Amino acid sequence: MRTPVRPALVVIAHGSRDPRHAATVHALVRRVGSLRPGLRVATAFLDFDVPSVRGVLECLAADGVRDVVALPLLLTRAFHAKTDVPAVLRDAPPRLRIRQAEVLGPAPLLLAALERRLREAGVAPGDRASTGVVLATAGSTDPEAVEVIADLAREWRRTGWRAVRPASASAGPPVGFPRTEDVVRELRALGCARVAVAPYVLAPGFLPDRIARGARDADVLADVLGAAPEVARVLLERYDGALGVCAVRSAEGGGVSVGV
């Protein structure tokens, strides 16, 4: 009996002028491939970097691929996930059947990745009760994304930290949370013996650098999530979920279908 061919996985990152961003995304995608031998995994970018989403999809179609799971490499469902990614997928070669997977967050494994990065930065298990954590995000004006981050901070606080407060690196219009440096000062005023900044971002770039500058008065600055094994496992969970949730919908309507 012929073994069914698994749909290819296309990981769609935002892209950045900072070369560290693409290098980190590629490292993460390599880890995903190592966890699922035989799965065809490709990386594409919405902007700044190559290959483009359309270019990757055209190459897959030319190679005879017919089924694709498109996975937005995003932590929340905001503008890019709701608008940019569906728009670029609508421009895909018509012979491809594409399922759009959900974004990465929220997920318990992402909390585990944040914990990993704090341990690597020197926060010991015994430090938890005296440490205030700044959950430093890129920032969003999308109410759904803001609420997801607020819920994540509340959930993380219940694991024993002295405090967990969300912050934003974005400037300009209101983004739901104060700046990283303001939250560092707030936690100091609260009486936290130690303040740690945990970037809830996937790869280095302009906004993560702003988070780092805002963390100058903190005691600890963790690394970005990057290619943490927990993040790679979330990608595969989203891939599997897209196939399980979307298979019927795709068969009924064809074309692009969205995981829920």
Residues 20 and 101 in one domain: yes
Residues 98 and 175 in one domain: no
Residues 201 and 150 in one domain: yes
Residues 217 and 232 in one domain: no
Residues 44 and 62 in one domain: yes
Residue 174: is its pLDDT beyond 90?
no
Nearest partner of 146 among 118, 167, 123, judged by Cα: 167
Could you give the angle at the alpha carbon of 96 between the alpha carbons of 90 and 99, nearest 5°? 65
In a domain, 74, yes or no: yes
Pick the more confident residue, 260 or 104.
104
- Which residues, in sequence order, are bridge partners of residue 132? 163, 195
Residue 246: is its pLDDT beyond 50?
no
Residue 247: is its pLDDT beyond 60?
no
Return the pLDDT at 171: 60
**Domain ranges, residue 244:** 8-105+228-258
Residue 248: is its pLDDT beyond 60?
no
Query: What is the domain-level CATH number for residue 68?
Result: 3.40.50.1400
Tokens of 234: 């979330």
Contact (Cβ atoms closer than 8 angstroms) between residue 128 and residue 194: no
Pick the more confident residue, 260 or 162.
162
DSSP-assigned states of every residue in the chain: -PPPPPPEEEEEE---SSHHHHHHHHHHHHHHHHHSTT--EEEEESSSSSSBHHHHHHHHHHTT--EEEEEE--SS-SHIIIIIHHHHHHTS-TT-EEEEPPPS-S-HHHHHHHHHHHHHTT--GGGGGGEEEEEEE---S-HHHHHHHHHHHHHHHTTT-SEEEEEE---SS--SS-BHHHHHHHHHHHT-SEEEEEE--SS-SHHHHHHHHHTTTSSEEPPP-TT-HHHHHHHHHHHHHHHHHHHHHHHHH-S-EE--
Residues 85 and 157 in one domain: no
Other Cβ atoms less than 10 A from the Cβ of 70: the count is: 28
Per cent of the chain over pLDDT 70 is 90
